[in-house]
Amino acid sequence: MPYEPLRILLEDNHLLAVAKPAGPPTQGAAAGVISVLDMAKAYVAKKYDKPGKVYLGVVSRLDAPVTGLLIFARTSKAAGRLSEAFRARQVDKVYLATVKGTPPPCPGSLVHHMVKDERTRRMVATHADTPGAQRAELSYEVLLSQKGHSLLAVRLMTGRKHQIRVQLAKIGCPILGDSKYGTTQPYEPGIALHSWRLGIEHPVRREPLELECPPPPRWGNWAPGDLAKALAGL
């Protein structure tokens, strides 16, 4: 499936931040399926006329149907430092999500334990003492509610697979378009989950780095004016 050229959000000698479209996986695609990593390497190879292999380190991932900010390392040194920052939770990650219903105000943080159900190939919320269960924590703020749906700003404290999708579905507010985790209302393209902001220390310059990937107009089925107003104060 063809995709539009990647939109570049930041590029220097150490980092490449891109706006991921809905559809392609971050990496590890099946034969014949292009990944965002493939697209990013092709961009670097063409821009810098690199005839050989292009190095890009994957330091974080987004699910295939999710859009927004994705960062790669252009050197092994940067990759090691960024990976450690993600492991040590030294990264501020904020997502936008359009969900069914209106969740209650988040009292501090939302905590579940998650494990993979091998039978259904889905992540599920479970008990803390379930073998293999991992603690998942996030917080959210309700920015807008209209016509049976709400716009949330979600801040991740941990980085579990499908974490936002599972935790919001668990409280009865599945993400628009996410049929895997309980919604029946379609959304194109992908699901209404968007990687919006990322705050991290630059791996080489050691200075604060704030990145943002604004959602496209009418993202999440919100009117452009309503969406802009809801995000203006954040």
Classify residue 119 by burial, with Cβ atoms within 10 Å: 0-12, 13-18, 19+.
exposed
Q: Which residue from 106, 39, 66, 80 is spatially nearest to 213, judged by alpha carbons?
A: 66
Domains of the chain, with CATH numbers? Answer: 7-216 (3.30.2350.10)
Three-class SS of residue 83?
Answer: helix
State pLDDT tens for residues 9-40. Answer: 999 999 999 999 999 999 987 778 899 999 99
State pLDDT tens for residues 53-89. Answer: 899 999 999 999 999 999 999 999 999 999 999 999 8
In this structure, are residues 169 and 181 in contact, taking their beta carbons and an 8 Å threshold?
yes
Token reading at 80: 């090691």
Token reading at 81: 């430092």
Distance between start and end Cα atoms, the chain: 35
In this structure, are residues 54 and 45 in contact, taking their beta carbons and an 8 Å threshold?
yes
The pTM of the whole model exceeds 0.75:
yes
State pLDDT tens for residues 166-189. Answer: 999 999 999 999 999 999 889 998
